[in-house]
Amino acid sequence: MMRQLSFQTRLTLASTAIVAVAVILLGTVAFVTVRYALANAFQTRLDTTAKAIRSIVDASHGRLQTFDREDLFQFQALLGQGLNGAVLRSDGSLLSSNLTAPPLALLDALTKTAPLGGLVHVERGSTVYVVLAIAERGVRYGTIVAWESRSVYDDAERITLVTLGVAGLFVIAVSAAAGGTLARRMLRPVTELSAMISEIEAADLGERLAWDGPEDELGRLCLTFDRLLDRLETAFDRERRFIADASHELRTPLSVMRAEVELALLHERTPEAYRLALGRLQRETQRLEVLAQSLILTSREGNEAPTERVAVAEAAVRATARMQPLATSRAIALTCTTTPVEAIADAEMLERAIVALIDNALRFARTRVAVAVTHTGGDASIAVSDDGPGFSSEALREATGRFWRDDPARSGVGTGLGLAIARSIAARHRGTIELRNASDGAGAVVLLTVPAAAPVSA
């Protein structure tokens, strides 16, 4: 049930419940305190009255002395306003009372409960009696009885209880209203934030929350969300460029294939002409196959990291051997120097990454390409260098992107995915790829680094 309510309502109910519990506890403590204070005041008043009457009673020669005018005045002054009293002789007869007709039978019965020392409290219905014996040297001369109805104090208790209840309900109601208002004001920035976020769509990720409030929890949330939008916008832009570039790359071979088929179907041709057309279709098909395989490789960044120990030097030697015929056909010297080092890697993918780096270097090298495997710190590094023109400043930033080429028209041989494939494989192995120009200005260097495997203990 609570989960079906809005967060603002639940927050208001929670704050109201806390206030209600606090009010009930405080009200209970206040009522118990007042009740104890009233009971104590009631009892103290009766005890004090009985003792005060005793101070004005004279006892001598075995009997009580009749009150003179001054004693009677003091006696009457002690009583009244619901408080009554009487002085009885030892035989039960009345010496004095503020009432013209006190309940002598009841008072006489109460005198028999009074010890020679101390006060006795007796309750009859709603009336409480305090009995004090008048005695000297072990001889009883009479008894003092003071009594009062508890109704006044009971009424005070009821009034206190009602007052505390009404005040508590008022406080709870005010706290509920204040809690609702406070919750609404506190959640207003969240509501505004939700409205701003709902206006941001995938088609327009350039919008930002641009929080200008204090750097509190909400401010940090807005900053985090803006950073998330930055990453999403970058990812969307990258994917849009990828789709556009992939479409561009696929359109050329498909257009060539379509034109070849249309020409072949236009009129009868010789078998040799058909073979030439099929050859051109085969080359375009192979180009599409290479492009599709490259795209698959660049989409594997999210796969699980490999767990196999691989000799990096052996993978580099195999990759160099595979690319040696291409280097020879282009009159480029391809060399490979290695240092023994192992890495936790996928042997086939690591070799493919090195092949992609060598292939990229062969496209721009003039006379040589060198592959070097080194063990630096805790990493295995594969450096592929050439003596070509080197990377432009834009290439140093963008060359590992999919389909990126220095040529704006995207002409020439290749798919523009070689370095992107190497970057994807490096990311899968928790490694990095770095582009830089040679220190002497002659050529470019691509450095692929993957974490080296821990040495096997003997």
Rounded distance, CA 119 to CA 409, Å? 117
Distances (CA, A) of 448 to 19, 70, 372: 64, 119, 10
CB–CB of 281/255 below 8 Å? no
Output the pLDDT for position 409. Answer: 35
pLDDT at 191 over 70: yes
- Percent of the chain at pLDDT > 90 equals 9
- Greatest mean pLDDT among 53-62, 118-127, 381-390 lies in 381-390
Domain 309-451, CATH number (from 3.40.50.1370, 3.30.1330.50, 3.40.50.1860, 3.30.565.10) = 3.30.565.10
CA distances from 73 to 52, 53, 83, 96, 324 (A): 13, 11, 16, 12, 135
Instruction: Give mean pLDDT, residues 207-231.
Output: 76
Instruction: Tell me how far apart the alpha carbons of residues 339 and 200 are, in angstroms, rounded to a whole number.
Output: 53
Q: Is the pLDDT of residue 328 over 80?
A: yes
Q: Where in the chain is the domain with CATH 3.30.565.10?
A: 309-451
- Which of the pair, 202 or 444, is modelled with greater confidence? 444
**Domain(s) of CATH 1.10.287: residues in the chain:** 217-298
* CATH superfamily entry for domain 2-155: PAS domain (3.30.450.20)
- Given the structure tokens 């916008």, which residue do they identify? 233
Q: How confident is the model at residue 109 (pLDDT cuts 50, 70, 90)?
A: confident
67, 85, 131, 164 from 71: Cα distances, Å: 5, 14, 20, 44
Write the CA distances from 422 to 250, 274, 320, integer angstroms: 21, 39, 15
The CA-atom distances, in angstroms, between 377 and each of 99, 308, 341, 451, 453 are: 111, 20, 11, 9, 11
Looking at residues 288-299, what average pLDDT do you find?
63
Residue 454's φ and ψ, nearest 5 degrees, are -65, 145
Tokens 């028209």: give the residue: 409
CATH code of domain 217-298: 1.10.287
- What integer is the mean pLDDT of 419-436? 81
Question: 302 pLDDT band (50/70/90 cuts)?
Answer: very low
Residue 396 CB neighbour total at 10 angstroms = 15
β-strand 127-136 against 119-124: which pairing, if any?
antiparallel
The confidence score (pLDDT) of residue 412 equals: 44
Largest Cα separation within the chain, whole Å, is: 165
- Most confidently predicted of 157-161, 270-274, 300-304: 157-161
The residue count of the chain comes to: 458
Least confident of 1-5, 13-17, 180-184, 286-290: 1-5
Q: How many CB atoms lie within 10 A of CB 161?
A: 15
343 and 350 Cβ atoms separated by less than 8 Å: yes
pTM of the model: 0.47
H helical segments located in 267-367: 271-298, 312-329, 347-364
> For residue 107, what is the enclosing H or E element?
helix 104-111
Collapsed DSSP state (helix, strand, coil) of residue 213: coil
